[in-house]
Structure 1
Amino acid sequence: MSHSSTQPFVKWAGGKRQLLEKLRSRMPSACKKYYEPFVGGGALLFDSKPEQAFINDINRELMHTYEAIRDSRDEFISRMEEMDRVTCTKEFYYKTRGRYNEKLSGGEYDVEMAVLFVYLNKHCFNGLYRVNAKGLFNVPWNQKISGKSIDIENIKGVSYYLQNVTITCQDFETALEGAEAQDFIYLDSPYAPLNPTSFEAYTKEGFTIEEHRRLAEVFRRLTDKGCYCMLTNHNTELIHELYDGFFMEEIDVRRAINSNASKRVGKELIIRNYR
C-alpha cells in the first residue's frame, strides 16, 4: 500500500480525514483484499490505495459518481470546468439543484449527473447529502459564490487508482460475501443514535438499530472466517453492547457537518478483532 496525495473528491457525512493517522496505524501490517462496504468519501481508501479493493455504498448517486470518474474522466473534468466558469449565485445553485433532481426523477445516471452531484456537494450547506420523502435532493445553498468544485490533478489520480477497484451499490452484507481469511474490512457505517430519539440517516433508506445489530453479526461472522475487521462508530452503550469482547479504543473527534457548532466535538470508538 502507498500513501500518496490522492484525496476524496466529495465531503461526506462521517468522513474520516481527521482520523487517517489513527486508522492507518491500526490497519493490519499485511492483508490480501481490501473491503469498504460504507465507503462514503473514501478517505482511508485513497490514503492507503490497496492493490485489490472492493468498495460499496448504498447511495446510488455516490457510487455512480465513482464509476463516472473512473470510466469517463475527461468528460467529467471538461463538464465540471464548464460549470465552474459560471459564478455560483443563489439562482445558479437552485437551477443546478433542479436539474439534478430532474435527472434523479428520470433515472438518468450519466456523466452529467455525476458532475451535478459533485458540484452540489461543494456548494451546498456543509456538504450534506439529504433527500426528501420523494427522494429528491433538498440541501440549501452554502451562500458562497467562489471556489472550484474539483482539483483536476486529484480527479486524474482518483480515476487512475479506481481503474482496478470493484465498485458496487448494494446491501453491506451482500458486498462482503466474497471476503476471505486475511482480507481486511473497514466498516464505517452510519452512526448509531446517541440517544433513543437521535438518528443520523444520509439516504432515504436510513440505517436503523436493527441494521446496527445485523452489522455486528456480520462482524462476528467475518471474525470467524479469519478476516481482519476494523469498525468506527459513536462511543455509546449500544455499540459497547454489540461489540463486547472485541478490542475497543476511545478517541476524540470533530464533527464537521453538524449544523450546531457546539456539537461538533465528540468521542468515537475504533473497534478491531485483532491487535
Structure 2
Amino acid sequence: MRKTAFNDVSVTLARPFVKWAGGKAQLLDTFRDYYPRALQTGRVKRYIEPFVGGGAVLFDILQSYNVKEAFVFDINEDLINAYNVVKYCVNELIEILSFLEREYLRADEEERKHMYYDIRNLYNNANKQPGLNVERAAQFIFLNHTCFNGLYRVNKAGLFNVPAGRYKNPKIYDEENLYSVSNVLKKVSIFAADYKASLNYVDKDSFVYIDPPYRPLTATARFTSYSRYDFTDDDQIELAQVFREMNKMGALLMLSNSDPKNVDLNDSFFDELYKDFHIYRVYAKRSINAKADGRASISELIVTNYKVKRGVYEI
C-alpha cells in the first residue's frame, strides 16, 4: 500500500474516519467505472461534494487523480466541525481520543454503558460555540464508534439519541489514518452549509458528486435523520433542479440514490426526474439494518450528465 509522510509519521492512504449511513466505501471499485474520463486526463481541476458524509469518494478522488482543489459541504455542523478539527488540530484531537479509548477499553460492560451515556449527555447539553471545538469533535467520534451499529441519528430537537452499542474491543480512533486524512484535507475547503451553497463554486472545470439522503424504499425503511430535517420527495425534486443548473454551468455531474424499482417496478420517480440524463444501476449491500436479512444486495442508481461506456445497466 502506498505511504506518505506527515509530521514525521508514516501514514497509509486516507479513508473515512467516521462510520456513516450510506457511506460509499464498499462501492468505490464500482464508482471508479462511472467517474468522468476527464478525471484521468487532468481536465478536472476542482472537485465538489455537496453532501460529504463520511467522505469515501472525496478521499478516493483526491488520492487517485490530479485535482487541485476541493470544496465539500454538509448540513451536519458537528460532522463539519470534526472534519475541520482533523484538518487543523489533529494532534490535540488524537490526545483526547487516546484518553477516551484507554478509559473505555479498560472498563467492564456496565462501566462502558455509563461512560457512553455520560459523554452523550455532555455532547447533547453543551452550548455550541463558533469556531473549532476539539473536545466536541472527540465526543462526536467517540459516540460514532461506540453507539449502536455505528448509526448517526438525531431527534427533531437535534439531540443525538442513538443507544450504546455492545463491542468487545472497538477501535475508537486510528492515529495513522487521522494523520493521513489531515494531510489530504489540506487542499479541501470545508463548509457547514446546505448543498445549494455549492453552486457558488461550480465551474466548467468541476466534477460534482452528489450523494443526498436516499429516498426510502418503504415507509418502514425510512432513514433521513442525519440532521433534524427530513429530506422529502419535494427536496429530491428541488435537488434535481440544482443538478440541471450545474449541468448548464458546464460541470461534470454524478449523483447516487436509491432505486425505487427494487420494491415497485412501476415507481418511475427518478426515471422521470432525471430523464434528460444517463441513469445506471449498480448493486450494493445496505449496512444499517438490525436484521441480517435486511442487508441483501439491491440496486442503487447512478445518474450522470456524461455517457459512461461501462454502464451496462443504463436505463
Classify the TM-score, shorter chain. over 0.9
Aligned equivalents of 1:78 and 1:24: distance in 2? Answer: 36
TM-score, scaled to structure 2? 0.82
- Shift of residue 93, structure 1, vs aligned partner: 1.1
Say whether residues 1:20 and 2:52 are aligned partners: no
Contact 2:123/2:140 (CA < 8 Å) preserved in 1? yes
Report if the CA contact (8 A) 1:87-1:145 is conserved: no
Structure 1 counterpart of 2:194: 171
Provide the residue aligned with 1:44 in structure 2: 57
Report the secondary structure of 2:14's partner residue. coil
8 Å CA contact 1:168, 1:175 repeated in 2: no
Provide the alpha-carbon RMSD of the alignment: 1.8
Corresponding position of 2:284: 253
- Pick from 116, 119, 136: which aligns with 2:139? 116
In structure 2, give the amino acid aligned to 1:69: V
Range that drifts further, 136-145 or 34-43: 136-145
Quick check: 1:34 aligned with 2:42? no
Alignment of 1:117-156 (within 5 A): 117-156=140-179
Mapped pair 1:269 → 2:301: yes
Looking at structure 2, the residues matched to 85 and 195 of structure 1 have their Cα atoms a distance apart, in angstroms, of: 41
Unaligned runs of 5+ in 2: 4-11, 39-43, 106-111, 261-267, 308-315
Task: Give 1:184 shift.
Answer: 0.3
2:264 corresponds to which residue? none
AA of the residue aligned to 1:107: K
Corresponding residue number in structure 1 for 2:231: 207
Corresponding residue of 2:14: 6
Query: One-letter code of the match for 1:203?
Result: S
Structure 1 position 259, deviation (Å): 2.5
How much does 1:196 deviate? 6.1
| 2:156/2:229 contact within 8 Å kept | no
Rg (Cα) greater in structure: 2
Instruction: Tell me the equivalent position of 2:93.
Output: 76
Q: Which deviates the most, 90-99 or 183-192?
A: 90-99
| Secondary structure of the structure 2 residue equivalent to 1:139 | coil
Counterpart in 2 of 1:220?
244
Q: Is 2:203 the partner of 1:180? A: yes
CA distance in 2, matches of 1:239, 1:195: 15
Q: CA deviation at 1:197?
A: 6.9
How many residues end up aligned between the 2 structures? 272
SS at 1:26 equivalent:
coil
Identity of aligned residues (%): 40
Task: For 2:128, give the aligned amino acid.
Answer: G
Displacement of 1:198 in angstroms is 5.2
CA–CA separation in structure 2 for the residues paired with 1:164 and 1:250: 32
Residue of 265, 269, 284 corresponding to 1:238: 269
From 72, 79, 95, the counterpart of 1:62: 79
Q: Could you tell me which of 110, 113, 116 is aligned with 1:93?
A: 116
Partners of 1:185 and 1:159 in 2: how far apart?
22
What per-residue deviation string (whole Å, max 9, x for no partner) do you get for residues 82-125 of structure 1? 1111125111111111111122xx11461000000001000001
Are the counterparts in 1 of residues 257 and 301 from structure 2 also a CA contact under 8 Å?
yes
CA offset digits 1:119-161 (Å, max 9, x no partner): 1000001111111232111101111142221110110011111
Unaligned runs of 5+ in 1: none
CA contact (8 A) 1:15 1:41 kept: yes
Counterpart position of 2:9: none
Q: Deviations over 1:177-220 (max 9, x none)?
A: 22011310000000013246753212111211111001101111
